[in-house]
Structure 1
């Protein structure tokens, strides 16, 4: 009799313990889901962001005296750079939010190595290597976000960028080829200088973002609308990938 009562009490304690564990697990799940949920209507948020901008200037080319004779050119390529800034977002409804941001973005372009013949009789050549241009902007995007699923938003907007600096750098090597085609390097030097860019740039950003526990992963493509240089038709083409954290106020 004593032993049976003891076993019954042990079973009751186990049932109480299991019930507590189950209720605690349910509470944790509810808490996580609440944390994962996108902001409610009327919520204002500050979202610092850090990421990378992968940019080039579309249509920009480098011609050499030899290449231009054959209508050939070296086209610009994408280069990565740092981007960092903050968004200020307001949630109008469960499906719609709008934000304005301010970002520092290092954009620009790079070119493959360029060779140029100066004197065909002596086989005198110049070679330009590692040509990179760094275009620093402060970009101000105005974005509308439409939530197409929980925490998943599609984005589109307008952006104005203010150029704050422009630099170029490359390595120049000059050498002579003999009749056998062997080259002997004469000099190698680093070249750095300023790049003159238009002060204001306009673009249309389109993208997608996903939020998990206040962490927002964001990918955008900024479609350039205006010329980067005064005398060249090239426009900015920029992909950005960033991670941010939402602070709701």
Structure 2
């Protein structure tokens, strides 16, 4: 092994890192319409250098997303050893949402195109889920997170929060909404006790409401207080009985 070959490999690594950084920023700013030639120009390398590392834009997109996931994995691992379980879990989720917000379209493209070869991406996704699961279970063991949550639930919440944060022009307001949603993952009697929503009553085919006076079937209403009587006559009759009693 010569010093020259070692220097060439170091240069190649630096070029690759520079191209990934530039591509990530350009894709975030201009979505996916950026040509590889523009990425080469911004990174200060030749077009041939880009094509040697990334023969197609799809390969570059996958590499950018893999780098994003690996950065999230590293963040999660640092939090596991540096913070209490509950703080580590919620801090990691907020970090995932904020860092993924600008890359939402990229995530959708990579996830939707099943024709790509994804060995590196698959491995990164698995590592991400392992870290997420470890953080979730540690927080659940100390009672900081609802016990009925699964890693799939948390991923779905994170995706929804990312979308919500992305669509808000006021970043601070969006972040507050995300925090409100994430607070719903904490154990709380107000959160975990199952209450009946008015829409649930309408959508439940087997549920029947009857007039408290005459027993006639009542129509279910999607909003407002549930009806107790079929009309004013039954309501007045029931009132007179209560007064008499």
**Higher gyration radius (CA):** 1
Bigger RCO (CA 8 Å, 6+ sep): 1
- Greater share of strand residues, 1 or 2? 1
- Greater share of helix residues, 1 or 2? 2
TM-score of the pair, normalised by structure 2 = 0.20
TM-score of the pair, normalised by structure 1 = 0.20
